[in-house]
Amino acid sequence: MEKPIIFIKDTSLTGDSSREIQTQLLKVAREKGIEDLQVIRVADLGIYDKGVALKICSLDIIYVNVKLSDAEKIIQTTIKEGTPIEDLLLENQAMQTRIVLRNCGIVDPESIDDYISRSGYASVGKCLFDMTPETVIEEMKKSGLRGRGGAGFPTWMKWNLARGSFGDEKYVICNADEGDPGAYMDRSVLEGDPHSVIEGMIIAGYAIGASKGFAYIRAEYPLAIERVQKAIDQAYEKGLLGKDILGSKFSFDLEIRLGAGAFVCGEETALIASIEGKRGTPKPRPPYPSDRGLWDKPTIINNVETLANIAVIFQKGAEWFATIGTDKSKGTKVFAVTGKVKNSGLVEIAMGTPLRDIVFQISGGCFVPENKMIAVQTGGPSGGVIPEKNFDTPVSYEHLIELGSIMGSGGMIVMDEDDCLVDISKFYLKFCVDESCGKCAPCRIGGYQMLAILEKITAGKGTLEDITSIKRIAQGMQKASLCALGQTAPNPVMSTLRYFESEYLDHIEKKKCRAGKCTKLLKFTIVPEKCKKCRLCVTNCPVNAISGDREKGYTIDQEKCIKCGRCFDVCKFEAIARA
């Protein structure tokens, strides 16, 4: 039998700790004569809020809510006899499918030996010695893998175009300029499993005939940079990078380039300009990077997540990969689920999993149990909202586009009834306005003007004509902007207008914000019947807007009030009304 290994992790802070159980398991094992058992505390198992979780690697069994007292039984029944314990098994175990995150939290990211011991770099060997670049691309085509950066362009096609382009030098770039608000999929892979990305890059380089690669990592990810650099150094030491890799005559060098904090540098041509040391602004395409990219040489740019998929495809076969997912979207997708969910974090699901499962099953539903979920934002600032009624939609490139959103790179923000959708879309638009490179007029000025209109609406000064103006500007930006940033910047606004137009009308006509997020629309008043005249609000008001006396009662001067809500928070008798 394989050497028994158990991964162990605390997924919530109740009950016995993983450290105690680890000691107990080892103790029991020794008593029972099992000397070679390894119990490793890992950083992530993709399970949340289920006490101490165990993964018994040889049997591929996951136990949750494990207690100290279960140790005896686990060693005896499962390790010695090989039988699962029904009571401890994780239900809905199939919800997450971990391909990209297969090693995250499990391997030591700073040890190439650890990675190799989990079949790491086996695919490089397979490709270099058993396959030609053409068959590598053919295999990629069979897998159906599409770019995980957002646009979903078939990866094999990108490789094939670059392979077909003439150039005395070609380049592979790993796009690790992750910038969507709240998204950290790429960072987790780079920090948790850097070798898988390097392995993907070597294979990509072999496929297109490149001998040089760049990992373009945003400077805000210091740990990722440190770990990738360490991984590169280790790969060089082992002869997996550099000249004549593993004696195959194929050479590939890899370097890190740092992004300087511009979101637009995630766009291919702007990223290339940034590596070249120029101002990071997009360029018109064609020429496409696969034809004339970095320093005018054929170049492919793949996202971190795309690259992390590649080694597995060659390890387990393209046919296996293609069985996961939907017709047109193969494999898995990692989402960074945040917002009003109980378990926010990274979730990797097979394509085709309904949104509802992600929100309610994996992420545990709403943070405030009695609140109603209203929408999910996918695709970050370039995406759109999907209302609750569409939660049964399977997650795939094609389905999300139908709903007016996009897959994007994997940001997913869940909203409940306490969120104002006008405010949310204003937030995203502001992000795009801040991050616009300023090169082309529709994005540079259109975004600014649209934001000004949203500011107006959320301040209660909007008119119905503003909706027309928004649509007009949106059309101009979508049709006439040069790059995807400008073309998609109006998406959050347009999709909220599509599904939640009534919220906009409430702000404009009734001057009301349902969720109470648009503070300028709020009105605080004192309810005389409930007021106990304790003066707590009076002493807490930062602008002295509350006046009166115990005889006549107290009132809020609306002219002076800055809608900070402190009176509302401090009142112990619910005597302050917020409307």
Partner 1 sequence: MISAKINGITVSVPEGTTILDAAKKVNVKIPTLCKHPDLPATASCGICIVKVKGSNKMLRACCTPIEQNMEIITHDAEIVDVRRTVIELILSKHPNECLTCGRNGNCELQTLAADFGIRRDAFPNCVPDLKSDISTGTIVLDPRKCISCGRCVTVCQDVQNVWALSFLERGFDTRISPAGDINLGESPCVRCGQCSAHCPTGAIVENCEAPVVWQALQDPEKYCVVQIAPAVRVAIGEAFGFEPGANLTGKIYAALRRMGFNAIFDTNFGADLTIVEEATEFVTRFTTAPDKLPLITSCCPSWVDFMEKFHSDMKDIFSTCKSPQAMVGALTKTYYAQKKRLDPKKMFLVSIMPCTAKKYEIRRSKDMFASGVQDIDISLTTRELARMIKQAGIDFVNLPDEEPDYILGEYTGAGTIFGVTGGVMEAALRTAYDYVTGGKLSHVEFENVRGFSGVKEGTVQVGPHTVKVAVAHGLKNVEYVLNKVKEAKMTGKELPYHFIEVMACPGGCVGGGGQPYGVTDELRAARAEGLYDEDSRCVIRYSHENPHIKQLYSEFLGTPNGEKSHHLLHTHYIARPEYQR
Asked if 393 and 386 count as a contact pair (C-beta separation under 8 A), the reply is yes
**How many other C-beta atoms lie within 10 A of the C-beta of residue 257?**
17
Judged by CB, which is closer to partner 1: 150, or 339?
150
CB within 8 Å of 419: residues ≥ 6 apart: 339, 340, 374, 375, 515, 517
**Binding flag, residue 161, partner 1 (CB under 8 A):** no
Judged by CB, which is closer to partner 1: 452, or 562?
452
Judged by CB, which is closer to partner 1: 65, or 290?
290
One symbol per residue from 417 to 436: x for binding partner 1 (CB under 8 A), - otherwise; what is it? Answer: ----------------xxxx
Mark 41-57 as b/e (b = at least 16 C-beta within 10 Å). ebebbbbbebbbbbbbb
In the window 473-492, what residues touch partner 1 (CB under 8 A)? 473, 475-476, 479-482, 487
Judged by CB under 8 A, the number of residues near partner 1 is: 32
Task: Give the pairing of strands 373-378 and 384-387.
Answer: antiparallel
Judged by CB, which is closer to partner 1: 123, or 290?
290
**Binding flag, residue 505, partner 1 (CB under 8 A):** no
The least CB distance from residue 284 to partner 1, in Å, is 4
Residues comprising the chain, all counted? 579
**Binding flag, residue 243, partner 1 (CB under 8 A):** no
The least CB distance from residue 180 to partner 1, in Å, is 18
Judged by CB, which is closer to partner 1: 223, or 260?
260
**Binding flag, residue 509, partner 1 (CB under 8 A):** no
The least CB distance from residue 455 to partner 1, in Å, is 11
Task: Give the pairing of strands 5-10 and 52-56.
Answer: antiparallel
CA–CA separation, 25 vs 54, rounded Å? 11
The least CB distance from residue 215 to partner 1, in Å, is 24
Q: Where are the beta strands (DSSP E) in 177-232?
A: 212-218
**Binding flag, residue 447, partner 1 (CB under 8 A):** yes
Asked if 52 and 6 count as a contact pair (C-beta separation under 8 A), the reply is no
Q: Is 22 helix (H, G, I), strand (E, B) or coil?
A: helix
Determine the interface stretch with partner 1 among 211-219, 359-367, 447-455, 530-538 (rule: CB under 8 A). Answer: 447-455
**Binding flag, residue 406, partner 1 (CB under 8 A):** no
Kindly tell me which residue out of 89, 219, 452, 527 binds partner 1, with binding defined by CB under 8 A: 452
Asked if 524 and 555 count as a contact pair (C-beta separation under 8 A), the reply is no
The least CB distance from residue 487 to partner 1, in Å, is 8
Asked if 264 and 282 count as a contact pair (C-beta separation under 8 A), the reply is yes
**How many other C-beta atoms lie within 10 A of the C-beta of residue 211?**
15
The least CB distance from residue 279 to partner 1, in Å, is 6
**Binding flag, residue 438, partner 1 (CB under 8 A):** yes
**Binding flag, residue 437, partner 1 (CB under 8 A):** yes
CA distances from 78 to 6, 88, 310, 385, 530 (A): 11, 11, 33, 45, 63
**Binding flag, residue 461, partner 1 (CB under 8 A):** no
**Binding flag, residue 153, partner 1 (CB under 8 A):** no
- Say if residue 287 is preceded by a cis peptide, omega within 30 of 0: yes
The least CB distance from residue 501 to partner 1, in Å, is 21
In the window 35-74, what residues touch partner 1 (CB under 8 A)? none
Q: Is 279 helix (H, G, I), strand (E, B) or coil?
A: coil
SS (H, E, C) 326-346: CCCCECEEEEEEEECECCCEE
The least CB distance from residue 385 to partner 1, in Å, is 22
Judged by CB, which is closer to partner 1: 311, or 473?
473
Cβ-based burial of 340 (10 A; exposed 0-12, middle 13-18, buried ≥19): buried
Judged by CB, which is closer to partner 1: 24, or 269?
269
**Binding flag, residue 220, partner 1 (CB under 8 A):** no
CA distances from 102 to 98, 192, 329, 502 (A): 5, 10, 19, 44
- What's the token pair of residue 561? 């009030």
CA–CA separation, 490 vs 497, rounded Å? 10
List, in sequence order, every residue forming a beta bridge with 62; answer none if it has no partner: 55
The least CB distance from residue 166 to partner 1, in Å, is 16
The least CB distance from residue 485 to partner 1, in Å, is 10
One symbol per residue from 245 to 284: x for binding partner 1 (CB under 8 A), - otherwise; what is it? Answer: -----------------x----------------x---xx
Kindly tell me which residue out of 41, 67, 444, 566 binds partner 1, with binding defined by CB under 8 A: 444
Determine the interface stretch with partner 1 among 176-184, 471-479, 488-496, 546-554 (rule: CB under 8 A). Answer: 471-479
The least CB distance from residue 296 to partner 1, in Å, is 14
Judged by CB, which is closer to partner 1: 204, or 508?
508
Q: DSSP class of residue 349?
A: E
**Binding flag, residue 441, partner 1 (CB under 8 A):** yes
The least CB distance from residue 499 to partner 1, in Å, is 22
CA–CA separation, 331 vs 336, rounded Å? 17
Judged by CB, which is closer to partner 1: 393, or 469?
469
The least CB distance from residue 393 to partner 1, in Å, is 22
The least CB distance from residue 187 to partner 1, in Å, is 24
Judged by CB, which is closer to partner 1: 419, or 435?
435
Cβ-based burial of 370 (10 A; exposed 0-12, middle 13-18, buried ≥19): exposed
Asked if 15 and 52 count as a contact pair (C-beta separation under 8 A), the reply is yes
Point out which residues bind partner 1 (CB under 8 A). 262, 279, 283-284, 286, 433-442, 444-449, 452, 469, 472-473, 475-476, 479-482, 487
